[in-house]
Each structure stands twice: as structure tokens, then as C-alpha cells.
Structure 1
Amino acid sequence: MANKSKYIYNTLMLLLVAVIVVPLMASCGKSSDGTVNGYNSQLTVANLSPDIGPVDLYINNNIQNGLTPYRYPTLGAYFYMNTVGYPIQIRSDTGNKSILSTGILNPDKKTFKLMVTDSTVNRNAKYTLFVTGVKADGKLNFLFLVDTSKLSGVGRGKVRFINASPRSGAFDVYANQTSLCANIALNAYSPFVEMPVGDYDFKIYATGDFSTVLGEVKQTVGDGKLYTIYTYGIVGRTDSAAFNTGIIINK
């Protein structure tokens, strides 16, 4: 009888240990903020092509956005990357989910560059992948940009500008009537520009033509903060592809 009681006691203790230890083991290697292996790298995607349709993000051939594709002109939230492996791809969310092609010829002059980047992803950094251009024009493209910069001075923040507006030419941008950047062509961008904290009215003009404000962004620049102002859509259109502006708070 004593041996039977001892057997039952030992069995119950083993079960108790299993209940406590197994969940702890399963949680090893995970962190509450979604980082894996200490990469601490974050990425967001902006689908700024008015006619490309919904797209998916793949890293190492694994979809990253689940069942929710990136739609025009949606800017996704930053997410922690579970890997810093390659390649990073933009694929169609429909059909056979193939990697999308740009309008840029490869050196062989026969095939087009795909929406794939092997850009180095660093630890403790943020990135944005912009999908740009008009598919009907055969001029799709993408920009893969790092969203981090050197620390600004005390009481100052930084702002940059990206032109993702197809068929719209180059832009000049002014902050409270002071030039922020000039002659920024399609798929080009300015460096981060340091400026004192405060309230700003950013106005966007066609390069050299200050008669018409094409776009306007009002933003308070905070101490040590980083911002990206961008344009998308087509100047002169009044439908869903109309010219517009957006802003990303990078930090």
C-alpha cells in the first residue's frame, strides 16, 4: 500500500513539474516586443501605386503580412522583423502571387528588374519599403529606405521628403516659407534635414513654380524626432489617384 501511495505521489509530482517547466521552455527565445535573436529591426510598407492592386511582403519566401495585404495608399504599421535574411520581395496578392516586375530593364536589356531587394538590414534600425509608379505606364518601382539617422542636436528634430508621385515632375518643399529641399524628382528623396522644434507648415510646389501650392502638411517637430513627408498620386487627377501627401513618424 505504501509503495502504491509513493508511486501516485511521484507521478503527481512529475506531472506538476511538466506543467510548470514546459511553458517556460516554450517561451524561451521569445520576447514581449516581438523581437527575435536581438535583431530589433523594424519595417513598414507603403503601397503608393494607384493601379498595382493589393500586394504582399515576403522575406525569405515567407509572407509577413498574413491575410491583410497592403492596399493603395495604405501605410502599414512598423513591425519587428523575425529575420534579417534575404530576399525581401513584393508580390501580387492575387493570382499566383508572383514577384512583381518593375519597369526597369536589367543589364541584358531583355528582362525587367523584379521587386526584390538584397539591401543589408542592420540591427536596431527602421526601414520603409515604398511601392511606387503606375502599372499601366510600365513604370513600377520601389524604394527601400533606412528610417534612422544620427542624433539631432538638443531641441531639434529632423525631416526628409520623398517624391512618390508618378507623372508629376519634381517638387520643391518649404517649411514656414524656408526651403527644406528643392528639385526632388520622382523616386528621389532628400536627406534628413535638422530643424528647431516647433510647429511647421510644409508646402509643396512644382519645382520653380510657386504660384500654386500642390500639397500641404502641418506637423509639430519634436525634440529628437524623425519625420518623413511623402507625396503620392497624380497632379490634376480628382479620383482615387489624386495627388496627396502623407507623413511617417520614424522616431
Structure 2
Amino acid sequence: MATITRSIAELVSRWETVRFLVAGNLKAGHREKVLGHVWNLLDPLLFVGVYYVVFGLLFGQAERGRGTFIVYLAIGVLAWRFFDATVSQATLCIKANRGLIHEIAFPKAVFPVAVSLSRLYDFLWGVVVLLAIVLCTGFALTAHVLWLPPLLALHLLFAMGIAFFAACLGAFFADTANVAGVLLRLWMYASPTFYYARGEHALIPERFQGIYMMNPMACVLEGYRDALLWGRMPDPAMLLYMLVASLAVLLAGFAVFTFGEGRFAKYI
């Protein structure tokens, strides 16, 4: 426990390093793009459009949702993309920075943290697109939109926790990124990303919903939808579960990462 506490303190003391890495990640992401930061808005909009054509029109979910599906889908795919991108890029972040790791002594946890915050920045642009879609489709934003910051925080903590696991495994095993891609795809389909999980249009039978909602990402997605689409407070029990799950995964991921950190140099 003392080692973990010391590692957390050391990570906090290196906050400027995290900021530098985040700035570098964001700059690299827009390098040589003609439209520059315009893509921050266009990319999530086009991303939602593609999924709407596939799942809304071709698979008939738009008709099932009676006008709510475009917002429902946008929340699902953009929130999931943040999680997916964070974990996927975390699998590569240690080996991608092998030069720094071999030359400078500093906490390696700055890399998965920087990846998580970089992808959060991208997702915040997606949130702007989400709010625009909500308003343009005739839905009203209520006071419950104020639940958005706490939900974002829980989402970030959970994604960062999984990112620590992914980064540690990625340092030791070269095929971690490939395995993670498959697992993330399965997890996406096991979460209410494209389909209704609750309510009258639910594809999940009511007797199985308790088990289904034990998936933290299902709680995250449904929490966003409660606040942005349905105009109500997220279920308090669900919020509590998200808080406990996010903190548990974050601490466990950080502990595993800290335990393996001293061996990274031998494998990269």
C-alpha cells in the first residue's frame, strides 16, 4: 500500500509532464490536416451518421425508437468511442515511448494518464456534437444535463483504470493490441451501444436486466441517456455502482501497473 501511495504522489508531482504529453498527442493528431480542428466537430458527426445508416435505417432501429434513436445512438457510439480509443491506444503507449523510458527516470504512469486525457479532450468535442443533435432533433435539455460532468468523471476514471491494465500488458506482450481490439468489440456489442436495453423498446428481457446492468459501461451509457435524452436523474443505485466500480478498477489497474513498471525496460 505504501508503494502505491508513493507512486500516486510521484505521479501527481509530474503533472507538468502529463500536460506536455497531452499537448503532444493533440498536436500530432491534427498535424497536416487541411481542416485542422474543424475535424473535432466533423469527425463525431460523420461517425454518428455512418452508424445511423447501418443500425437506424438498415437494421430498423430508428423505426423501433420512434424518433429517439438518433440521439440514443449518438450517445452510445460517441461515449463508447472514447472508451475504446483510450484502451486501444493505452496498449501501445509504453512501447511507443521506449526512448524516453530508457533515458529518463520518471513514473511511467504518465503515459496511460496522458492517453486518457487526450481522448477525453476529443470526447468533449463529441459532447458538443451530442448537445447539438439533441437540440436539433427537438428534444429539450433539462436541469438534469448538470449530471453530465459527474458522469464524465466516472467514465474517465473507469476508462483510465482499464487503460492502466492495457498499458501494463502491452509493455510485456506484443499482441496485446490485437487481443484488446477483439475484446473491446465483444464488449461493445454486450453494451447498449446500438440497441435499447431498458424501457418499452428494450431488447434485453426484464428478468436479465439486473445482470446486464452489472456491466459498468452499460451504466455509463444509460446514465448519459438519462441526463441528455430522457431528461431525468440517473438511477442513484446505478450512480453508486458506477462510482464503486470506477474507483475499484482505477486502483486495481494502477496497482498492477505499478507492480509491473520496474520490469518494462527489459521488455521494450
Larger Rg: 1
TM range (shorter): under 0.3
Identify, as 1 or 2, the structure richer in strand. 1
Q: Which has the higher contact order (CA 8 A, sep 6+)?
A: 2
TM-score (normalizing by structure 2): 0.21
TM-score (normalizing by structure 1): 0.22
